[in-house]
């Protein structure tokens, strides 16, 4: 299996026990295949490859940090950026900004609440697999906006009152079922690190209401999340104690990897004894196309692992820059 790894310094191609850099760029946070074209969302714009990552296009959206790229059932492609913005790729391969998104009343409050404050990030995109006009955008820190009319208008919502959105995904069998991973951020600062403030939320009604499904699970600060498109549609989440948890701390990142097979009603650890907890923080996460329930993991120590459904960890590469995204390619 070939794996593309997005890192702090670009994209690396991993195959067997060898890896090589195939794209130089800073902060590659997203790698996704949309209709045979692989997009790389980076801290310096977006690139795409039409030959499985061997060569890459010229940079686009160069003035923006691109946090996520997603495609709809009609072939429409969207990109979420920092400062929080939403762009759509038109039929001429030109990126058009969706002004209705940044014109929403809530947009003036979007920010990362550190000192000094940083611009908010549109970092979580979901497009309804059955209705191309319906999409959700999660803003860190700001909340979730939903459009039912192809971005003409937006509805605002918060899962559990939490505006610190990191990742979102929809259930493959039922697009009304959404999952959101969250942190502790609040627009006026950092909230208490208590249950209910951070973790995973689920909506069964297209984001109108949300249920906290992370009860009793620690650590709570949840970022990477993926759902296996094959039954039983396992949901996997990586979490750590705080936004700043990393391998350089005295006790390491103290991160964990959890799995749910019942839409978040119950969870089990996907960590082996050497990763309970993990010294490395987990940033990259994607389903393993070879094995149902398996995932590919990228860490801040520059490692890439495959993890089986029964929590067996196999190292695929190490010695990379910090890995922020992974994209396995089935042979």
Find where tokens 């061997």 sit: 54
- Exposed / middle / buried, residue 74 (Cβ in 10 Å: 0-12, 13-18, 19+): exposed
DSSP single-letter state for residue 271: -
pLDDT digits (tens, 9 = 90+) for 74-133: 999 999 999 999 999 998 899 999 999 999 999 999 999 888 989 999 999 999 999 999
Q: What pLDDT score was predicted for residue 272?
A: 96
Q: Domains in the chain, please, with CATH?
A: 66-315 (2.130.10.10)
pLDDT exceeds cutoff 90 at 267: yes
What pLDDT, on a 0 to 100 scale, did the predictor assign at position 75? Answer: 93
- Taking only the tens place, the pLDDT of each residue in 43-82 is 999 999 999 999 999 999 999 999 999 999 999 999 999 9
The mean pLDDT of 238-245, rounded to a whole number, is 93
- Round to whole Å and give the CA distance between 141 and 128: 23
| Conformational region of residue 147, where left means phi above 0, alpha means psi within -120 to 50, and beta covers everything else | beta
Let me know: does 142 contact 109? Beta carbons within 8 Å: yes
- The pLDDT > 90 percentage for the chain reads 89
28 band by pLDDT with thresholds 50, 70 and 90: very high
Contact (Cβ atoms closer than 8 angstroms) between residue 55 and residue 24: no
Length of the chain: 331
Mean pLDDT of the chain: 95
Residue 114: per-residue pLDDT: 85
| pTM for the model | 0.96
């Amino acid at each position: 299996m070939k794996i593309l790894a997005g890192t702090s310094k670009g994209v690396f191609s991993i195959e067997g026990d060898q890896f090589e850099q195939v794209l130089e760029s800073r902060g590659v946070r997203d790698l996704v295949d949309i209709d045979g074209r692989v997009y790389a969302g980076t801290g310096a714009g977006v690139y795409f490859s039409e030959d499985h990552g061997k060569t890459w296009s010229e940079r686009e959206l160069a003035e923006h940090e691109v946090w996520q790229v997603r495609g709809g059932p009609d072939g429409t492609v969207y990109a979420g950026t920092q400062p929080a913005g939403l762009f759509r790729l038109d039929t001429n391969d030109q990126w058009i900004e969706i002004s209705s998104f940044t014109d929403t009343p809530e947009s003036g409050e979007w920010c990362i609440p550190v000192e000094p404050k940083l611009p908010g990030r549109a970092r979580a995109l979901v497009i309804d697999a059955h209705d191309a006009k319906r999409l959700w955008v999660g803003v860190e820190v700001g909340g979730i906006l939903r459009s039912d009319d192809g971005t003409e208008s937006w509805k605002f919502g918060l899962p559990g009152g939490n505006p610190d959105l990191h990742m979102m995904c929809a259930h493959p069998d039922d697009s009304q079922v959404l999952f959101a991973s969250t942190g502790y951020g609040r627009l006026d600062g950092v909230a208490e690190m208590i249950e209910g403030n951070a973790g995973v939320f689920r909506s069964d009604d297209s984001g109108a209401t949300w249920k906290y499904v992370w009860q009793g699970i620690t650590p709570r600060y949840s970022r990477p999340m993926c759902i296996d498109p094959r039954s039983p549609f396992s949901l996997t989440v990586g979490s750590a104690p705080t936004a700043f948890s990393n391998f350089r701390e005295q006790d390491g990142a103290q991160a964990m990897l959890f799995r749910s097979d019942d839409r978040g009603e119950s969870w089990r650890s996907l960590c082996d004894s050497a990763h309970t907890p993990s010294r490395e923080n987990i940033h990259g996460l994607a389903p393993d196309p070879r094995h149902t329930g398996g995932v590919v993991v990228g860490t801040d120590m520059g490692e890439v692992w495959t993890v089986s459904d029964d929590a067996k960890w196999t190292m695929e590469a190490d010695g990379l820059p910090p890995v922020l995204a992974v994209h396995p390619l089935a042979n």
